[in-house]
Amino acid sequence: MATKAKQVFGPVRAGAVVGVVLAGGEGRRMGPGVLKPLRRLGGRPMVAHVVDRLRPQVMDLVVVANDPLPGTRALKVPIIPDPPDLQRAARRDGRRLGPLAGILAGMEWTRRHHPHAGWILTAPADVPFLPLDLTVRLCGLMHVPEPDVLMVRHGRRREHTLAIWSVKLAADLRRAVLDEGVRRVEAFAGRHRLAELAWMGAADAFLNVNTPESLVAAERQFARMAGHKFS
């Protein structure tokens, strides 16, 4: 009789990939008050859950945030802002430059601190239930010819900021944001070799917590997961 393989529930690390948590969203749909990355989920800031799930899967991790994130020192992860010239452009325009600025910050930080790492994996700070095998499944699709950008799709939804990016795109990304005024992630990604990973697992792994109602749903999901873990 064949023996059933033991299922592994721990995180899986793959390749020379640096994780970049994008925590720069204003979170207007959450209403006034605490910044979205600092909203409490299971008694902890939401960004802490993203860091905890992503950190074991990558060689290093950085959080990009222009606003102060008090109470996150315990995460023991670098927190960096957008590049200074992009911040000046944002002030000049009177609005934030969006996720592309954070992606560029992550690329440039990686090139300084890990010059031999060719890829970053970006994840927004409001997706607290990321799969623990996300990185290894994404890297499994980085075959020859390698795409420049590999995004996650579940169902009909493409997650534009949940993606692997070649750091070789940094110079073009800087030009696109500063000189051409590109702001949409999909507009920039579409200029390069773009591929998708169709996620076959449960869609609730990518629950996006950006409204008070979705935060309530996340609390219920967190309670179910905690109950399952300790039952």
Q: Across the strands, what pairs with 121?
A: 19, 164
Q: How far is Cα 182 from Cα 175, in angstroms, rounded to an integer? A: 9
pLDDT at residue 156, rounded to an integer = 83
* pLDDT for 3: 34
- CATH code at 123? 3.90.550.10
- Rounded CA-CA distance 64/68 in Å is 11
Q: How far is CA 170 from the centre of its chain?
A: 17
Exposed/middle/buried for residue 179 (C-beta within 10 Å: 0-12, 13-18, 19+): exposed
63, part of any domain: yes
Is residue 173, in this structure, part of any structural domain at all? yes
Which pTM does this prediction carry? Answer: 0.88
Task: Report CA 164 to chain centroid distance, whole Å.
Answer: 9
Q: Burial code of 78-111, b = ≥16 C-beta within 10 A, e = fewer?
A: ebbebbeebbebbeeeeebbbbbbbbbbbbbbbb
206-202-188 Cα angle (round to 5): 40
DSSP 125: T
Q: What is the mean pLDDT of the chain?
A: 86
Q: 220 in a domain, yes or no?
A: yes
- With respect to residue 62, please indicate whether it lies within any of the assigned structural domains: yes
pLDDT at 191: 96
The sign of the torsion formed by the CA atoms of 144, 140, 171, 206 equals: positive
The reply to whether 205 falls in a domain is yes
Residue-level pLDDT at 36: 83
In a domain, 6, yes or no: no
Q: Based on the structure, what is the number of domains in the chain? A: 1
Tell whether 5 is covered by a domain.
no
Within-domain flag for 83 = yes
pLDDT at 230: 39
Helix, strand, or coil here: 214?
helix
Nearest residue to 222 via CA among 73, 53, 19: 53
Beta strands in 104-188 (DSSP E): 119-124, 149-154, 157-166
Query: What are the mean pLDDT values of the chain's consecutive 10-residue runs (231 residues total)?
Result: 39 77 73 77 92 95 92 90 92 88 97 95 95 90 83 89 96 96 95 92 82 85 70 38
Closest CA to 89 of 170, 182, 165: 182
pLDDT, one tens digit per residue, over 85-110 is 999 988 888 888 899 999 999 999 99
User: Are 125 and 23 spatial neighbours (Cβ–Cβ below 8 Å)?
Assistant: yes
Range of the structural domain that residue 146 is part of: 17-230
**What does the pLDDT read at residue 201?**
75
